Chain A
Amino acid sequence: MKSCLIVDDSKVIRKVARHILEMMQFEVAEAADGKEALDHVAQATPDVILLDWNMPIMSGMDFLRAYRSTVEVPLAKVIFCTTENGIGHIQAAIDAGADEYVMKPFDRETLESKLQIVGCI
């Protein structure tokens, strides 16, 4: 079974994404900000991380930079999933090491296709 860590400060988004991912047979964990996500990946490496941009305590971008600079643990695929839909943000996320980018709002087909692109299904 593949695993996904959803990192988003919105309970509603986490709930919707969890529902979609569980329908696709993913094992799902949740974090409400980048700091919680770093704590999680220190314990277990998911196959993929679904990452929001704007979050309190630690943003998605700060998490990604910190995570990508970690070399001693296997690295998961990272899919940004955010309302920051401008080309500048998308390019910055890719430059920081994101593997894919989902612009909110999204549906099951979109998420499924992005998971397929990064090789997680």
Chain B
Amino acid sequence: MSIAEARAYNTLSEALEKHTGQTVPANRHWRIDMALKPLMRRNSVPDLQTLAALIEIDADPKLTRACVEAMVNNETSFFRDQPNFALLTGPVLDNIRDLRMDKKRLRIWSAACSTGQEAYSLAIAIAENAEKWRGWTVQILGTDVSASALAQAREGRYSQFEIQRGLPVMQMLRHFEQQGEEWVAKDSIRKMVTFTEHNMLTPVRHFGRFDVILCRNMLMYLSDEKRTHVLESIAPSLEDGGLLMLGAAETVIGQTQKFRASKEFRGFYETSQQQENAQVAKLSLTG
């Protein structure tokens, strides 16, 4: 690789990190090349060095944004990490349901939701247990930094390739309609989900508090410092008794003192404050 090419990769990966916090290690710079080729063709940009030069001076903010969005890792699928997702939609939601029986309101935040498969998987899981959630207000919020990913999420429109990744065929038939080569989420699940743009590196907006926050497979692309920042900024958004779910390869250990691993549910985290409150309550009962 020439010095000019290496410099171009660095400029582009720095732009990605500046806008989203995501980093691309040098051994994965090929991803940048692959992700940007269609954009370069569309904008008649001859090579990566020219694109990097345009991004460096922010010649066209629309181009910079499109470039960053193209580089963001949007990898996702329905019911991703099936065993963990089954724990969430089974025992974890049952536990939350018991806790919230008075208000009958369930709020879930799918953070860094990409094209929305995680949010719709939650909606499907709840719709498949309609009897259990009858009379409840269920709100699922999906947020992401990428406007183009969110546009697809809002439409609930998936290619044949996307729809069959992780989604059982029976659920596909029940909750999606075929439109040509694409599959579109039916209104019954779309009405349970809303999507809005949010960068996890910026302060959490007034989304309210949530019973479950899913922030999966996003922290792994951030530096240690930014992981801590994200975890600490979402901690106040968790309801008492609520749980944070991270990706299978992610943890809060060594990142923050604000969360501790749930003793009951492996792969889930509660705020340290909650654990302390629970201990005080236990002591006062036994004391």
Contact = CB atoms under 8 A, between A and B. Distances in A.
A117 interface: yes
Nearest to A99: B169
Contact of A90 (B161, B165, B166, B169): B169
Contact of A103 (B77, B82, B160): B160
A91 B173 contact: yes
B164 interface: yes
Interface string A9-51: 0000000000000000000000000000000000000000000
B82 A116 contact: yes
B85 to A, nearest CB: 11
B233 to A, nearest CB: 32
B164 A103 contact: yes
Interface in A89-111: 90-91, 94, 98, 100-103, 105-107, 109-110
A106 B178 contact: no
Contact of A109 (B165, B172, B173): B165
A80 to B, nearest CB: 9
B168 interface: yes
B170 interface: yes
A58 to B, nearest CB: 23
B164 A110 contact: yes
A75 B165 CA distance: 25
Contacts of A109: 77, 165
Contacts of B169: 90, 94, 98, 100-101
A70 interface: no
A87 interface: yes
Nearest to B79: A113
Given A109-B77, A113-B77, A116-B82, A90 B173 contact: yes
A113 B178 contact: no
Contacts of B168: 100, 117
Contact of B173 (A85, A87, A103, A105): A87
Contacts of A77: none
A82 B79 CA distance: 23
A103 B164 CA distance: 8
Interface of B: 77, 79, 82, 160-161, 164-166, 168-170, 172-173, 178, 181
Interface of A: 85-87, 90-91, 94, 98, 100-103, 105-107, 109-110, 113-114, 116-117
23 contacts: A85-B160, A85-B181, A86-B178, A87-B173, A87-B178, A90-B169, A91-B173, A98-B169, A100-B168, A103-B160, A106-B164, A107-B161, A109-B165, A110-B161, A110-B164, A110-B165, A113-B77, A113-B79, A113-B164, A113-B165, A117-B82, A117-B166, A117-B168
5 closest residue pairs by CB, A with B: A101-B169, A113-B166, A87-B178, A117-B168, A103-B160
